[in-house]
Amino acid sequence: MKKRILLKALGDRESFNALDNAFEQFNRAAKILELTEDQIAMIMEPRRIIEVQLPIRMDDGHVKLFKGFRAQHSMIRGPAKGGVRFHQDVSVDEVKALAFWMTYKCAVVNIPMGGAKGGIIVDPNELSDSELERLARRYFSELIDVFGPDTDVPAPDVNTNPQIMAWFMDTYSMHKRQYLPAVVTGKPKALGGSQGRGTATAMGMVHCVRNAAEHFDLDMKNLTVAVQGYGNAGSWAAKLLHDDGCTIRAISDISGAYISKDGIDPQLAIDFVRRNKKLAGFEKEKGIKKLTDPMALLELPVDVLIPAALENQISNSNSPRVQAKIIAECANGPVTPKADDILTENGVFVIPDILCNAGGVTVSYLEWVQNRMGYYWSKERIADNLKEIMDNAFATVLQTSLEKKVTMRTAAFIVAIDRVAEAAELRGLYS
Ligand code: NAD
């Protein structure tokens, strides 16, 4: 008989530690699945975490030391997969949590990959381009035996981009004396990057929002939207939803939040960021106002709220004031478990990160497949594959949520944990 385990839960306590929150989400689904202690021991904790010291010669000649991490959560269903973040707030627990979410994200969309995540504690805005390149290359070469097309395949995340992926790929290929593009995804197209990778995270979210709108009988053309974060995920989220007929009421980035009663043209904002790096000064454009408190964006009376920045943005304190009908999580971990409970009570439909932003890793997987074949697919084929994968995943999670009367987040974890646990049991333990 299966021994049911009750994991230590957060209870009423609110944590802003991403790993606490990731495990709490796991816990909620594990209880419903009645996982045994043995099963949990095999699939919950990260498999390994590596810390590296990165001494970099700065442009003025002095040496500065940075710290980097790579967490491999799971390689049970395939090579570990997950982005590398450059941010001053990167921590061991954040990297572990992000790696954990990657395992279950790949399992929700049923792609044959495990989970990993990396990070360097750095504010890249303080580095010149050549310092950034030296840091990226040193990170990759320090972890050269950890990464590999069959072991661990990184991708972009916060403050990393296709150019940095190109440096990673070049560093690895030079060490191995071969052209090895499959070691990293999110590369420029000239180096084996896939069609559709740039827009993939946001496009996957759009498929989820379209499915949610259909479920609630809402017309996309009548939806108003607020987007927090205007980087890769957020700017494309605004642009693609605008293309679907939605009105973009507000957008934000690290410089502040900007609102327009007539709606914001996302392309105007994208061009503005391209010229100025940030949205700072965007309020000078016609009809745009800057909010005094940027966090007020999360409480605007819109239909769809898209967190596309960092973790823990919607918590115990502000969740009671959220007015959106749908929250589509482009960011990882933007809603704490306590906030999840409050949003559920208030009837807010949360499309969880491990489903909602899985379009990125899905097209990364397609990029990896193409690299390994040396044969490249058209934009249309990638778009069709992404749509099919996201629509199937959304339907499976929604059905589980309705059948088991649980939130979409717990349903997504139920679907994903089931797949990872089955694979772990079949593989057994090598000892
Ligand atoms: P990015 O570096 O391209 O953009 C991050 C954006 O967030 C920037 O506009 C930045 O100014 C803004 N930001 C930072 N702190 C903020 C704050 N306190 N308030 C408002 N805005 C703030 O990063 P990205 O790749 O777009 O990633 C954003 C989120 O999406 C992250 O949680 C990431 O893990 C997640 N995600 C990204 C991908 C991807 O393919 N890039 C895939 C899945 C999930």
Give the nearest ligand 1 atom to 278 CA: 11
Residue 307: pLDDT over 70: yes
Measuring from atom 36 of ligand 1, which residue has the nearest CA?
331
Query: How far apart (Å, rounded) are the C-alpha atoms in residues 417 and 235?
Result: 31
pLDDT above 70 covers what percent of the chain?
97
Distance between CA 46 and CA 71 in Å, rounded? 7
Stated pTM of the model? 0.96
Q: pLDDT tens for residues 156-176?
A: 999 999 999 999 999 999 999
- What residues does CATH 3.40.50.10860 cover in the chain? 46-179
Q: Please give the Cα distance from 107 to 78 (Å, whole number).
A: 10
Q: Please indicate whether residue 67 is annotated as part of the active site.
A: no
Digit-coded pLDDT (tens) for 43-54: 999 999 999 999
% of residues, the chain, pLDDT over 90: 96
pLDDT tens-place string over residues 194-250: 999 999 999 999 999 999 999 999 999 999 999 999 999 999 999 999 999 999 999
Nearest CA owner, ligand 1 atom 40:
360
Q: What is the mean pLDDT of the chain?
A: 96
Considering the chain, tell me which residue range(s) the CATH 3.40.50.720 domain(s) occupy: 200-356
**85 CA from centroid of ligand 1 (Å):** 10
Please tell me what DSSP assigns to residue 7: P
Atom of ligand 1 nearest to the CA of 200: 40
pLDDT at 2 exceeding the cut of 50: no
Q: Can you tell me which atom of ligand 1 is nearest the CA of 334?
A: 32
Q: How far apart are CA 339 and CA 184, in angstroms?
A: 35
Helix axes 408-427, 18-33, angle to 10 degrees: 80
pLDDT at 431: 84
Q: DSSP readout, 224-267? A: EEEEE--SHHHHHHHHHHHHTT-EEEEEEETTEEEE-TT---HH
Question: What's the pLDDT score for residue 11?
Answer: 67
Q: Whose CA is nearest to atom 23 of ligand 1?
A: 158
Q: Return the residue whose CA atom lies nearest to atom 43 of ligand 1.
A: 357
Backbone φ, ψ for residue 251 (5° rounding) = -140, 160
Give the integer Cα–Cα distance in Å for 167 and 173.
10
Separation CA 210–CA 159 (nearest Å): 28
Query: Which residues' Cβ are closer than 6 Å to ligand 1?
Result: 156-159, 201, 228-234, 252-254, 294, 308-310, 330-332, 357, 360
129-155 per-position pLDDT tens digit: 999 999 999 999 999 999 999 999 999
Exactly one of 81, 96, 105, 117 is catalytic; name it.
117
Q: How high is the pLDDT of residue 9?
A: 61
Ligand 1 mean position to 202 CA, how many Å? 11
Does 118 score more than 60 pLDDT?
Answer: yes
Q: Which CATH architecture has domain 46-179?
A: 3-Layer(aba) Sandwich (3.40)
Whether 24 shows a pLDDT value over 90: the answer reads yes
Fold classification of 200-356 is: Rossmann fold (3.40.50)
pLDDT of residue 53: 98
